[in-house]
Structure 1
Amino acid sequence: MAFGTKNHLVGLDIGSRTIKAAEIVETKRGRRLKKFAMVDIPPGLIEDGTINDSEKVAEYIRQLFKDNKLVEHNVAVSIGGFSVIVKKIYVQKMDEIKLQETIQFEAEQYIPFDISDVNLDFQILGENENNPNQMSVFLVAARKEMVNEYINLVQMAGLNPCIIDVEAFALQNVFEFNYDELNENIALIDIGASKTSLNIIKGFSSLFMRDVSLGCGQINQKIVSLAGCTLEEAEQIKFGSQDDKISNEDLKEIVSSVVTDWCAEIKRALDFFYSTYPDDSITKIMLSGGGANIKDFRQLLSMETSAEVELIDPFNKLELSDSLDSSYLGKIAPQASISIGLALRRIDDK
């Protein structure tokens, strides 16, 4: 979904607890990360992808751009959650123009919303391996209400929304840029504050996508319940400060119970994938998002799935501007992945 004219843009990842902005420029030596910035926002402004206070969120975005001297106003943003449906479908072979004319009819049987309430997009993947008369197509449907919400927010912040992407695609984009193509199944999993995106790819082709409502906010909620504190205080407790309000043992128990739930939910999603692709196996899981930093989670997930678990490095093949702190970027790398995936986009991309 493109709305602008210039090729260059800023990747703007608007999360429920953190907003990230990344700017990547083309150089003779390749792509260079010119700017990266992030700011935390108070809980409640954005919940489950719904923007509850557009003006306050817009002010945080404006301030983020001002404080970090981000002057480019063309941006790419992403959406996800249950208001977005991504599904691989099979249709009779036809050219892209013909499919553009018929996609609404094709989509009606797969979309659980009124077709007039969604924006549709698609990408032709190629011939159906099991039926040469058909082709496989990635169908993307996003509720117009959510798309308009994010367009209005970005415009309220004084920026130009050029691309509305899907979080799982942004994650795939950053992986494809930074890693060599492997002919094996790899699960890209982003654990955010309130939702988790799962994208299983093989040879840079996506096989399976799912969003689930779990994230780091669950840890904060359990801390609030036990310590009787605010969500802001819970965030500090989670990272080791204000330990007078809760014991280390209680904190470890909370984190352990939450990441156990995460692993169970992820395993359910992977089992569904295996039911569709019974001859396939997932050899590697690449993690991003704030939850990826939890060591106990990575270890348990590896045990539960019998797969190698790694942190994704979104800066792996990017040249870094001299003004950027590489040690800081190394610490926040998993959280930066979606914004980098968006910043790699260009307005004339499909």
Structure 2
Amino acid sequence: MLRLFRKQNRKLIGVDISSTSVKILELSKKNDRYWVESYGLSPLVEGSVVEKNILNPELVADALERAIQIANPEGLNIAVAVPTSMVIHKVIEMDADLTDDEREVQIRLDAEQYIPFPLEEVSLDFEVLPEPTDDPNRVNVLLAATRTENIDARLEVLELANLDAVVADVESYALERSFAVFADCMPIGVNTVGILDIGHTMTTLSVLHHGQIIYTREHIFGGKQLTQEVQNRYGLSYEEAGRAKKTKNLPSDYETEVLIPFLETVVQQASRSLQFFFSSTLFNDVDHLLLAGGNANIAGLSKLLEQKLGYRVTIANPFLQMGFSPQIDLKKIENDAPSLMVACGLALRCFDS
């Protein structure tokens, strides 16, 4: 079975594969405080990963090897994540007195009730939830399942980079774990938090209530649109547009003619995602909005979202209360922090009690 929930006592390197880069992170714990021991971020060739599907494992493996060289971590026990949209989650009731082996057999016998794929094509795992049920002889069990090919695609990348995975996790679980380490930095009274992750081609809204993810929705939209606007307006190649966007080496009308319209579109997309959340749940508000992903730091974005949506908006940083090893570039990791939420949550797996 896919071991999503089993405890790990070994130090883990969190490996997050996105559309634009491979990110790795290594943590330690000293005197009840987490420390960032090493991290590395290596850009990906455009098209290597599209909408979280790995299309060119060789290029992704090359980027992973570069990230490992940059970080130079102590160990090489790898934790990777499967995209949330590729995983089926179900909470099922089972007899409380079953052993794990008996529970696994029962789940496999009943799997076709919960999983719309042939069982031989699926990897799955389960965890008994601590919350009591109405019947003391029954327990709630969280079942997670994904097509084995989704895991194999990530394992192939690791194999090409001469690495082995110890843990396969789910992005939403990693995000939840990452949020937990800085949740007490949220203002008093914040119970429901939206995390808006604006990636290269995908934007994901995850909503946590009392620290647990209750809603996730992805849609196609991201920073690539801004790069394409720069490309079209100024007659640049896609690569030139990407570099110009990063270096801010652009004509004087860039802000008014390109950036501000893009930011307005981000606000519209965020508002739409929140409305989907409100219409499909019993919630009609969030207490706080966190910006994550590679585009979280775009100048003026958090302020505009705050003005237009009426929520307090801050940029996600899972390292707010962590220490840093001397080799860590503090300015760089602060800039990269919003895009390291998943990698951080993966690295935290080894500290699960």
TM-score (norm. length: structure 2) = 0.83
* Cα 1:32–1:108 shift into 2, 3 Å: same
1:60 aligns with 2:63: yes
> Helix, strand or coil: the match of 1:70?
coil
- Structure 1 partner of 2:49: 46
Report if the CA contact (8 A) 2:20-2:44 is conserved.
Answer: yes
- Structure 2 partner of 1:257: 261
Instruction: Kindly report which structure 2 residues correspond to 1:263-282, keeping only aligned pairs within 5 A, or say none.
Output: 263-282=267-286
- Cα displacement string for residues 111-163 of structure 1 (whole angstroms, at most 9, x for unaligned residues): 5655543323344445599x779876554332322210101101211111112
- Structure 2 partner of 1:69: 72
* Cα 1:77–1:209 shift into 2, 3 Å: same
AA aligned opposite 2:196:
I
1:325 aligns with 2:299: no
User: By how many angstroms is 1:210 displaced?
Assistant: 2.0
- Structure 2 partner of 1:191: 198
How many percent of aligned residue pairs carry the same amino acid? 24
AA aligned opposite 2:87:
I
- Structure 2 partner of 1:94: 95
> Helix, strand or coil: the match of 2:317?
coil
- Structure 2 partner of 1:85: 87
Instruction: Kindly report which structure 2 residues correspond to 1:1-350, keeping only aligned pairs within 5 A, or say none.
Output: 1-2=2-3, 7-80=10-83, 82=85, 84-87=86-89, 89-95=90-96, 97=100, 100-103=104-107, 108=112, 116-125=120-129, 138-180=142-184, 184-243=191-250, 247-250=251-254, 252-346=256-350, 349=352
* Cα 1:94–1:43 shift into 2, 3 Å: same
> Helix, strand or coil: the match of 1:21?
strand
* Cα 1:66–1:250 shift into 2, 3 Å: closer
AA aligned opposite 2:21:
T
* Cα 1:301–1:125 shift into 2, 3 Å: farther
In structure 1, runs of 5+ residues without a counterpart are none
* Cα 1:55–1:249 shift into 2, 3 Å: same
User: By how many angstroms is 1:65 displaced?
Assistant: 1.6
User: By how many angstroms is 1:252 displaced?
Assistant: 4.3
User: By how many angstroms is 1:183 displaced?
Assistant: 6.1
**Using the alignment, how far apart are the partners of 1:92 and 1:38 within structure 2?**
42
User: By how many angstroms is 1:37 displaced?
Assistant: 1.7
User: By how many angstroms is 1:90 displaced?
Assistant: 4.8
* Cα 1:250–1:293 shift into 2, 3 Å: same
Say how many residue pairs are matched.
343
* Cα 1:115–1:236 shift into 2, 3 Å: same
**Using the alignment, how far apart are the partners of 2:103 and 2:120 within structure 1?**
18
Report if the CA contact (8 A) 1:200-1:206 is conserved.
Answer: yes
Higher deviation after alignment, 10-19 or 176-185: 176-185
Higher deviation after alignment, 8-17 or 275-284: 275-284
> Helix, strand or coil: the match of 1:293?
coil
- Cα displacement string for residues 234-279 of structure 1 (whole angstroms, at most 9, x for unaligned residues): 1112124442xxx342454333333333333333332232234335
AA aligned opposite 2:197:
D
- Cα displacement string for residues 17-51 of structure 1 (whole angstroms, at most 9, x for unaligned residues): 12211111232353211112212222112211222
Report if the CA contact (8 A) 1:167-1:197 is conserved.
Answer: no
> Helix, strand or coil: the match of 1:119?
strand
TM-score (norm. length: structure 1) = 0.84
Over aligned residue pairs, what C-alpha RMSD do you find? 3.1
> Helix, strand or coil: the match of 2:321?
coil
* Cα 1:248–1:290 shift into 2, 3 Å: farther
* Cα 1:135–1:295 shift into 2, 3 Å: farther
User: By how many angstroms is 1:91 displaced?
Assistant: 3.3
AA aligned opposite 1:277:
T
